A = this chain, B = another copy of it.
Amino acid sequence: MSAATDLLFRTLADPTRRAIFERLCREGEQTVGALTARSGVSQPAVSKHLGALKQAGLVRDRHEGRQTHYSAQPGALNPLIDWTSQMAGFWQNRLDALDDLLKRMDQ
């Protein structure tokens, strides 16, 4: 039960937050204002979501004058990929074990 994996799942569970991350992945760096415009929630809400994404390592921020630019940091998805393939791997192992058993029973 890795802490990083836990934080990732918790952070990506919220649809509004996930949508913000998706937009940053698709369209690249964006200011808070641009993200707010099509998010459906208020600017403070977006700022809070960006704070959560940043704490999970999913985004980086860059200050330029009075604007803050955010960009996705997809490397942070690695624990998610690892967890998923681990789960799939366990399943595959049990399939293999069953296969072995059947083969041994066949003889």
Mark A residues whose CB is within 8 Å of B.
1, 6, 9-10, 12-13, 15, 18-19, 21-22, 25-26, 28, 72, 74, 77, 80-81, 84, 87-88, 90-91, 94
Task: Give the secondary structure class of A's interface.
Answer: helix
Cα A90 to Cα B10 in complex, Å, equals: 22
Residues of chain B with a CB closer than 8 A to A18's CB: 1, 6, 9
Residues of chain B with a CB closer than 8 A to A28's CB: 94
Residues of chain B with a CB closer than 8 A to A9's CB: 9, 12-13, 18
Residues of chain B with a CB closer than 8 A to A74's CB: 87-88, 91
Task: For A22, give its contact among B10, B15, B87 (CB under 8 Å).
Answer: B87
